[in-house]
Amino acid sequence: QQGVTGMLVDPADLPTLRACFATYLYQSWRQEFAHVDDAVRAFLGDAPGRAAALADEVQVLLAATTDEAELDAWSTAAGADYLPSDDGRTFRGWLEAVAVTARGFHTPAPPSPGLGLPSTGPPHPSGVEEDR
């Protein structure tokens, strides 16, 4: 069923996916990221609590249509400036990969102080290490 915007799924109904596209895949994303997958991982790193929502919203979008032109139009309406065909992918294949990345995303735990680090003893009073 067509939404208010004339699309199968209104971008406003998928706020996490829209945020990823509009803030990380906008027109100049290529200046910040070497590859589109880096942009998606950056979004997940900056919003790790939204990984499950991103994956879920991708599934909602993919369930709404199998038409590549509709996925392209949705992506553009959501603010993305990326054509998966530039990387030999389809929109469906790329979005499926985004969902897999989001589902497998784990925020690295901050390192525990002192674990796995060699003990160097107290610092030298001068602040410069000497050969002992």
Q: Do the domain assignments include residue 114?
A: no
Q: What is the pTM of this model?
A: 0.74
pLDDT tens, residue by residue, 4-40: 345 678 889 999 999 999 999 998 898 999 999 999 9
CA distance 58 to 81: 17
Domain assignment of residue 42, yes or no: yes
Residue of 100, 110, 109, 108 whose CA lies nearest to 40: 100
Residue 123 lies in a domain: no
Domain that holds residue 52: 11-103
62 within domain boundaries: yes
CA distances from 17 to 9, 20, 29, 74, 130 (A): 12, 5, 16, 11, 54
Residue 116 lies in a domain: no
Overall number of domains in the chain = 1
CA atoms within 13 A on the CB side of 4: 4
pLDDT tens for 36-49 read 999 999 999 998 89
